[in-house]
Amino acid sequence: MAAYLFLPNMAFAIVGEFMYVTRPIVNVDYLLLGSVAGLLSKRVSMLAYAFLLANDVFVSLAPVFHLGLETALFSATLALTTRLIFSPAGILFAASVVTLTVASQKISGDREQRLRPSLLVVTVLVVVIDMLGGMSAWFKADAALLPVNLGTSALYKTAAAIRRDLAGDHTSLEPTHPLFGAAATDGIRRALAVGGRDESLGARQVALILVESLGHSRDPGVDSAVLAPLLSDSIRTRYEIRLGWVRSHGATTSGELRELCNVDADYRNVGQVDAKTCLPSLLRDRGFSTVAVHGYSQKFFARYQWYPRIGFDRMRFADELTQQPGTALCGSTFRGVCDRDASRVVRRELTGAPRAERRFVYWLTLSSHLPVDRAAPEGSTLDCSQIAVGRRFKDICALMRMHRLVAEELAAIATDPALPSTRFIVVGDHPPPFFSRDARSQFVQDEVPFIELVPKQKK
């Protein structure tokens, strides 16, 4: 009981006090293994225990990154880089799994070749109580008698996710609900619906910037403080400023498809999206050239495949950008072209277009991907000592300073005298996925802020 019930579940309960972990109290996978462990060799038993632990961690932490389990499972191979494996988090994860596995073997004691029916009884008891309490996924109820979800099987969840994927049972694609503000790009879509000319768009060019981990702070005024360069007098002189928040769901590619195609999807089911309704395609049909800029590998999430499908003529990824002299790399786990350098590419794309050309430039930022490289925001003008949440959390401070750098770069582009008339939309992809429950609670978990700059018409 100590090895297969209390030890693993207590470990998750303790971690859940400090980190954002979505997990029922008891994972019955360990109990089921314990019931037959006596029939297995010590090596097989330990490997099975370690596998269950690793799977439990994966299933429990997938929501931290705003990922559905299916997307997380099939994205794992993309993120499993040498840098991640040997990062402090990767080493801690491996050490924890080994320690708990060894401890469970020491506690479980003798290796008598027999079943342990008592563990099977406890398994059934947990499942039955969970079902009667109204919290079981296997027994739906309209009201719950228990305040918590008592039992689960992470292995069952993983197997079911794999089965659904192999069967092609992907999430249906539904337009985001208009009552909540479908996307920050709604204004552009409305303008295109009435013709998409300079008069309706309010500009000759359009720039969409999706900012990694830009969340909506629960503290009033923090969003405006972070994005202050885009709210300055010099910006107000040239642009009408529109502020707001939109609903967010899922991870970065879901944020991309929300803004680019107005659908609730991710990269795995982008093939089901009607590409003709995506913003790059709509603008290209109206004579715009379309270009996407991102400081990471083109192969990550297969962007090099689906970006052209939804309407991008040109793509500029790290694979090309790192070949340019003076390009620096930033980031920890996901290391790529620094946002400061990527912004210079964006500036050249916006200011260097031929006079007769209308251009749509999309920039997906990178440097603020968590865990944030604390050295990356060097030079940021944001003083965290002036913001309560910044004083309290060093990681939030680093993230806000990174976002301020992006705002500064964009403000410089927006006020560049060489810039043709350009309409800017700056919006977050998803709330910051902090591991810390306390840090995570500082942000609204289903909203991201946006700023839209529409050039003032000359009188």
Burial class of residue 198 in the structure, from the number of CB atoms within 10 Å of its CB (0-12 exposed, 13-18 middle, 19+ buried): middle
Q: What top-level class would CATH report for the domain 178-455?
A: alpha beta
Distance, CA of 430 to CA of 425 (rounded, Å) = 15
Residue 174, pLDDT > 70, answer no
Higher pLDDT pick, 114 / 39: 39
Note the pLDDT of residue 289: 96
Q: 209-242: per-residue pLDDT in tens?
A: 999 999 999 998 999 999 999 999 999 999 999 9
Whether residue 18 contacts residue 437, with contact meaning beta carbons closer than 8 Å, is answered with yes
pLDDT above 60: residue 410? yes
Q: How far apart are CA 65 and CA 206, in angstroms?
A: 29
Residues in the chain: 459
Reported as a single tens digit per residue, the pLDDT across 73-88 is 766 666 656 666 667 7
| Residue of 155, 49, 55, 58 whose CA lies nearest to 102 | 49
Q: Where are the domains of the chain?
A: 2-166, 178-455
How far apart are the C-alpha atoms of 400 and 385, rounded to whole Å?
12
Phi, psi of 201 (to 5 degrees): -75, -25
